[in-house]
Homo-oligomer: A and B are copies of this chain.
């Protein structure tokens, strides 16, 4: 399958999980996975899921604006850059232009998130 199609499908699956079953994100990371969330560094699937499920909002809806993808080297991974909006329940305006950099690595016919860097853009 075309890498762009794979990347887009992964990103859609990731945010669908985030918006409907956030604790399920733990299955998309592994022990060596890293998350840098607004400058805070977190390692390991359990710690990353604990961070993402403890964010100070319950309901949210991600809308993806752009997905860019490139193969990342001989190991079969790919780097993916995502921008979009994050709508929180009870907030009138979405948080604009959140950005995520994912480095996906292959695992048993699928991918897991090895690197994850998140930044909000305060316009």
Contacts and interface: CB of A to CB of B under 8 A. Distances in A.
Interface of A: 34, 36, 39, 41, 66, 68-73, 75, 77, 79, 81, 83, 96-97, 99, 101, 103, 105, 114-115, 117, 119, 121, 123
A30 to B, nearest CB: 12
13 contacts: A36-B70, A36-B81, A70-B103, A72-B72, A72-B115, A73-B105, A79-B117, A81-B119, A83-B99, A83-B119, A97-B121, A121-B123, A123-B123
A70 B119 contact: no
Copies in the complex: 2
Contact of A70 (B34, B72, B99): B34
Q: Is the interface of A mostly helix, strand, loop or mixed?
A: strand
A68 B36 contact: yes
Nearest to A116: B70
B101 A79 contact: yes
A31 to B, nearest CB: 14
A17 to B, nearest CB: 22
List the 5 closest A-B pairs by CB distance, nearest first.
A123-B123, A81-B117, A101-B101, A68-B117, A34-B70
